[in-house]
Amino acid sequence: MQLTRRGILKTAMAAPLVFVPQVAVGATWRRHLVLVELNGGNDGLNTVVPYRDPLYRQMRSKLALPTDQVLSLDERLGLHPALERLMPLWIDRQMAIALGVGYPQPNLSHFRSIDIWETATMTETSGEDGWLVRLFKESRPPATLPAEGLVLGRNDPGPLAGENARVIALKKLTSLRKRQRKNLKPAAGSTNPLLDHVVVVQNRMDLAERWLVEKNLQDVSLAGTFPPHDFGRQMETAARFIAGGSAVPVIKCALGGFDTHAGQMGRHRRLLTQLAEGLSSFARAMKGVGMWDDVLVMTYAEFGRRPRENASSGTDHGTAAPQLILGGRVRGGFYGEQPPLDRLEGQNLVYRLDFRAIYATVARRWWGLDGKFLGPRTLPLIT
């Protein structure tokens, strides 16, 4: 159970939300957002590769991918060969690639930069709530939903962290049945509103978990199989929740290990292979149950990597990087612009697309919400 991002003190006087274990919601809340955090900062230049740019090879004598291995997307850009399983989605225009995604005055600290991404705050401010919690405070999902978010694996809630967030953290699907659940009661004569509120929230989330157990998600039939690695298991669990009718609008997954300061070539290939295996298996499963149109998958990371390789055959903390957006309602293609390698800011790429425009697109075009704090710009990437 996740109460707040900074602690639970701010929830003490919050009015509890009532959970009713029958899900009856409008079309808006039958749409799911699946977030995939690429923890550590993914190397964008070796994910979406400017394979025709001579500067790419000059800057990366060891890490540049051979031209004949790159999966061509157009005459300038291609995918890392480890992402080959995603090419059918690109060809069918069910995958969009947002290029040069970042923000002004970038911060190269893992902790501060991911906080900026997950709260949608500016570099000179800090936020208490994740951007999805902020969005849902403006337009609260129905209390009939078992939860507003599900966090899978050993994974921080990130955008789902915050005051009064209705979030279930789940390492694996079988954990639901193994949990010890007790109907807690406030102590007799209690005068501590904080503890009373904690009891109310705990009971509410336990009720949601009981409802999810009764859905028998382990028995949901899915097309194909999922890879046996941790990310594959997360994506399988996400698919079971969605196919089983659990009606949780946001599911957050994560794939770690992208902080590739040394020995990047083989490690990055393994990570992107796992990413492609998990995402392609998830897409196949959603198509198999006729729910691909109800799902939007979005990757993100705290930052990209520097364009020039370092002396350890790796890359250091950088700035702008591409994001992948997948789903049945996605208008496939490129959005934004590939940052030019001959116009760096210091040693880093200059961002071309503010990440908040993607968040605003999710808020307005996916769920029909406002989200003024995300800024005015949206992208035509959702039908």
Domains of the chain as residue ranges with CATH:
9-374 (3.40.720)
User: What gap in Å lies between CA 181 and CA 166, rounded to an integer?
Assistant: 17
pLDDT computed for residue 15 by the predictor: 33
What DSSP designation does 141 have? Answer: P
pLDDT computed for residue 165 by the predictor: 84
**Among 46-50, 115-119, 143-147, 181-185, the least confident range:** 181-185
pLDDT computed for residue 127 by the predictor: 74
Cα-Cα-Cα-Cα torsion 303, 307, 311, 315, nearest 10 degrees, comes to 20
Phi-psi region of 216 (alpha: psi -120 to 50; beta: other; left: phi over 0): left
Residue located via tokens 């591409």: 322
DSSP, collapsed to helix, strand or coil, labels residue 33 as strand
**Among 34-48, 121-135, 335-349, the least confident range:** 121-135
pLDDT computed for residue 122 by the predictor: 77
Give the pLDDT confidence of 262-296 residue by residue, as tens digits: 999 999 999 999 999 999 999 999 999 999 999 99
The pLDDT confidence band at residue 209, using thresholds 50, 70 and 90, is low
Model confidence at 327: pLDDT above 80:
yes
Residues 152 and 237: beta-carbon distance below 8 Å: yes
Model confidence at 11: pLDDT above 70:
no
Tokens of 380: 């035509």
Give the pLDDT confidence of 220-267 residue by residue, as tens digits: 889 999 999 999 999 999 999 999 888 899 999 999 999 999 999 999
Model confidence at 121: pLDDT above 80:
yes
pLDDT computed for residue 188 by the predictor: 58
Which has more confidence, 21 or 369? 369
User: What gap in Å lies between CA 298 and CA 97, rounded to an integer?
Assistant: 10
Give the pLDDT confidence of 33-42 residue by residue, as tens digits: 999 999 999 9
Residues 318 and 346: beta-carbon distance below 8 Å: no
- Beta 167-170 vs 250-256: how paired, if at all? unpaired
pLDDT computed for residue 247 by the predictor: 83
pLDDT computed for residue 173 by the predictor: 62
For the CA atoms of the chain, what is the radius of gyration? 21
Residues 163 and 194: beta-carbon distance below 8 Å: no
User: What stretch of H or E contains 280?
Assistant: helix 264-288
pTM to 2 decimals? 0.87
pLDDT > 90 fraction of the chain, expressed in percent and rounded: 70
The pLDDT confidence band at residue 219, using thresholds 50, 70 and 90, is confident
Mean pLDDT across 346-356? 97
What percent of the residues of the chain are helix, what percent strand, and what percent coil, each to the nearest 5?
A: 35, 15, 50
Backbone angles phi, psi at 345, to 5 degrees: -110, 100
